[in-house]
Amino acid sequence: MSKAKYWFERAKNEHFAIGAFNAASIETLKAIVGAAKNLRSPVIIEASPGEAEYFGIKELVGATRVMEQSNGVPIILNLDHAPDYDHCRVALEAGFDYLHLDGSKLDIEENIRQTRRLADEAHKKGVLVEGEIDNINVLGAGSADHRGKNIDVVRDPKYYTDPAKAADFVEKTQIDTLASFIGNVHGMYAQTKNINLDLLREIKARLGQTYLSLHGGSGIPANEITAAIGIGVQKINVNTQLRLAFRDKLKETLDAPGPPAGGEVAIYKIMPAAIAAMQAVVEEKIKLFGSANKI
Ligand SMILES: [Zn+2]
């Protein structure tokens, strides 16, 4: 059994979720791995195609594997929201453990064709595949600071996942995980991001043993996260809260008047405070997701 499969099975059987945190730099990697090590938790490190390109896809695999070994933390490396088979294929060759083919912008038949092809190839290597039919960002939300925006502008229940369509998609593609859309838009908003737990129960009932992911983890109330895990979510994606923690702390560091922080030019002295701020977010999420003390 592959590492990814092992941890998703444990998450399913022991009712916890594995945090999936986006990393686009060595600072984010340090924060995520530091938190996982402190709390003895498995972790999913992921990069969107844009983040992976910025880091370098081979460089990301190399850095992740070295940090995994040196810290004794199981890391599942995931390509997040890849738009098609070709992007996933590159990551599969590079040594990723998990691939999220977000074909929600493709025609459904084309989405099924590409996702099935990927699943067939990935499964031979023990790599897990996540599929998506309902575009979580259909109304334009992204993993960003939307706190000046009303959440109702970027989400409409008519786009939420239809359990019957989801079951059909899973059967035709043989994916391991479905990215369900139950109100979990990406980003942070002025309002709390409530999700439709009844719909999640229906999806779970239709999909049986298929794993479920919950994107847009930033800003969902803690009690709804806990309920979603109880219903059967095994992977929760968090990006925006890390980005905000990094940006806010970095700005505070650079804006501080005088020494020790203000006026500092050495990168290795500027960054630790921002890394610590991100690590605090990751630790809070790991505790909430119930994955602490599993290794
Ligand atoms: Zn996402």
| 3 state SS of 104 | coil
Q: What is the mean pLDDT of residues 205-216?
A: 96
Residues with CB under 5 Å of ion ligand 1 are 215, 237
26 phi, psi to nearest 5 deg: -65, -30
**What's the pTM value of the predicted model, to 2 decimals?**
0.96
How far apart, in whole angstroms, are the C-alpha atoms of residue 281 and residue 295? Answer: 20
Q: 1-5, 122-126, 153-157, 272-276: which range is least confident on average? A: 153-157
Given a cut of 90, whether residue 2 has pLDDT beyond it is: yes
Distance 271 CA to ligand 1 centre (A): 26
Pairing type for strands 128-131 and 145-146 reads: unpaired
Distance 215 CA to ligand 1 centre (A): 4
The pLDDT, as a whole number, for residue 152 is 84
Q: What is the mean pLDDT of residues 142-165?
A: 89
**205 alpha-carbon distance from chain centroid:** 23
Given a cut of 70, whether residue 261 has pLDDT beyond it is: no
Given a cut of 70, whether residue 93 has pLDDT beyond it is: yes
Q: 55-59, 135-139, 167-171, 215-219: which range is least confident on average? A: 135-139
Distance 273 CA to ligand 1 centre (A): 27
Distance 216 CA to ligand 1 centre (A): 6
pLDDT tier for residue 260 given thresholds of 50, 70 and 90: low
Range from 23-37, 126-140, 185-199, 263-277 that averages highest in pLDDT: 23-37
The pLDDT, as a whole number, for residue 153 is 83
Burial class (CB in 10 A: 0-12, 13-18, 19+), 28: buried
Question: Across the chain, what does the average pLDDT equal?
Answer: 95
| 132-155 as b/e: b if 16+ CB within 10 A | bbbebbbeebebebbeebebeebb
Q: For residue range 143-153, list pLDDT tens digits in order.
A: 888 888 888 88
Query: At which residue do the structure tokens 């929760």 appear?
Result: 236
Distance 46 CA to ligand 1 centre (A): 10
Burial class (CB in 10 A: 0-12, 13-18, 19+), 162: middle
Given a cut of 70, whether residue 218 has pLDDT beyond it is: yes
80 is catalytic: yes
pLDDT tier for residue 141 given thresholds of 50, 70 and 90: confident
The pLDDT, as a whole number, for residue 104 is 95
Distance 81 CA to ligand 1 centre (A): 6
The pLDDT, as a whole number, for residue 262 is 67
Distance 237 CA to ligand 1 centre (A): 6
Q: What domains appear along the chain, each with residue ranges and CATH number?
A: 3-289 (3.20.20.70)
The catalytic residue among 80, 84, 97, 134 is 80
The pLDDT, as a whole number, for residue 259 is 65
The pLDDT, as a whole number, for residue 138 is 80
